Amino acid sequence: MTGTILTLIIAGVIIAVGLVTGLVVGTRRRPLPSQVKPELGEQRSDKVVGGSAVAERETPEGPERGEGLATEVVEPTTPVEAPTEAPAPAIEKPEAPESRLVRLRRRLAGSNNALSRGLLTLLSRDRIDEETWEDFEDTLLTSDLGVKPTMELVEALRDRLRVEGTADPTAARTALREELIKLVDPTLDRSLAIDRTEVPAVVMVVGVNGTGKTTTVGKLARVLVAEDKDVVLGAADTFRAAAADQLETWGSRVGVPTVRGAEGADPASVAFEAVKVGIEGEADVVLIDTAGRLHTKTGLMDELGKIKRVIERQAPVTEVLLLLDATTGQNGLTQARIFAEVVDVTGVVLSKLDGSAKGGIVIQVQRELGVPVKLVGLGEGVDDLAPFEPEEFVDALLTAD
């Protein structure tokens, strides 16, 4: 009897212990949400897929199933709006080169050009005597015409007026116009080599820092578009952060594509890619904008040669245009000589020929380089770049405002 009672007591204790253990284990298996913590090794990231937020949890790989990524879709609390496309910019119609010449001639004639002012003052005198000739010579020398061209012009004028036997200012004016045109040399070929052959024509624009090459390339694109040319722009100035953006803006305004690379990319590779795009798209002309460089920096100057060589693996460079600031005078001529030694300069673009520029730089730079001035810039307007015409230039110098 005693043994039976003892057995029942032991069984009751065992059952009680089992019930308590079950309650404790059950509680641990059902934690509250606020108490959940990721196990060691778990990672969580959120991303948006198709308008819904997807929570990803990477769990350790199981020994049998090999499961690696578990995801759950969480609907966004706020609706996701589809992006709106910005309206395409309106394509501008550039001004025709013919009308530019008339407008630019009028602007040059009305400028404060030192040579123009000096010549008009001298020719307004009642008679031309020895003092007039000396003043005339000084005016030419201070206008960056150069010693040799100045001596040639003065001697030719004096001989001509002596033979004709007159010192009349009107006759002197006519003679001066004709002799100046001879110095500017209308026989030089000032046309741009932009005719497409089997491949596009390629034009490189080079120059020192701060002369406005990117702006000039953009304006030149407008000139070519006005002539119904298909143009591709190459932003090979990869050292200046805003250069590619600026060139792309110029191109978008006239519907011209721009090839660009990352900031600091190899300029030669960008130029190569631009020419490749031009060939594949059967463009007429590829314009390459290069970074400004000091003519005294040998490494940067050598880079120009590299760009040209790389381009010519696909197509010949038909023009190398050197951009010069007309206000720099003799310093501009020094720059021109060194650039011409590194790359075969085929033509000169003179910017800022109005205002304080000295018109004699046109004659001097042509004498120094043996290449013509092909384009001139006479203002800040988008169409203030035009082909250089010797007779128009001389007439503007000799036209009163």
Judge whether 99 is annotated as a binding position.
no
Global confidence as pTM: 0.73
Same domain assignment for residues 205 and 282: yes
Contact 271, 217 (CB under 8 A): no
4 is in an annotated binding site: no
Could you tell me if residue 34 is inside a domain?
A: no
Residue 80 lies in a domain: no
* 51 labeled part of a ligand binding site: no
CATH of the domain at 130: 1.20.120.140
- 110: containing domain: 97-184
**Contact of 374 with 387, CB cutoff 8 Å:** yes
Answer whether residue 229 is part of any domain.
Answer: yes
Q: What gap in Å lies between CA 303 and CA 324, rounded to an integer?
A: 19
Verify that 161 and 239 share a domain, yes or no.
no
CA distance 262 to 326: 33
pLDDT at 260: 93
Highest-confidence range of 139-143, 211-215, 246-250, by mean pLDDT? 246-250
Query: In degrees rounded to 5, what are phi and psi of residue 127?
Result: -145, 155
Are 220 and 322 part of one and the same domain?
Answer: yes
Q: Please tell me the predicted confidence (pLDDT) of residue 28.
A: 41
Q: Please determine, for residue 117, whether its predicted confidence score (pLDDT) is greater than 80.
A: no
6 annotated as ligand-binding = no
Decide which of 132, 155, 184 is a domain's last residue.
184
With both helix axes pointing from N to C terminus, report the angle between 243-253 and 213-226 in degrees, rounded to the nearest 10.
20
Provide the pLDDT confidence category of residue 231 given band limits of 50, 70 and 90: very high
Most confident residue range from 105-119, 260-274, 309-323 = 309-323
Query: Known binder of ligand: residue 30?
Result: no
Q: Which CATH number characterizes residue 226's domain?
A: 3.40.50.300
305 labelled ligand-binding: no
Residue 384 is assigned to a structural domain of this protein: no
Cα-only R_g, the chain: 39
Name the residue with higher pLDDT: 339 or 104.
339
Indicate if 305 and 225 belong to the same structural domain: yes
- Condensed to tens digits (0 to 9), the pLDDT of residues 44-70 reads 333 333 333 333 333 333 333 333 332
Task: Tokens 């020094």: give the residue.
Answer: 334
Least confident among 16-20, 64-68, 289-293, 394-398 = 64-68
Q: Is 211 annotated as a binding residue?
A: yes
> What is the helix (H) or strand (E) element at residue 184, kind and residue range?
helix 169-184
213 in a labelled binding site: yes
Residues 147, 222 within the same domain:
no
pLDDT (mean) for 171-180? 84
Q: Is residue 59 part of a domain?
A: no
310 and 278 in a common domain: yes
Work out how many domains the chain is built from and give that number.
2
Instruction: Determine if residue 228 is labeled as part of a ligand binding site.
Output: no
Place of tokens 């460089």: 293
Residue 386 included in any domain: no
Q: With CA atoms as reference, report the closest residue to 53 among 81, 71, 75.
A: 75
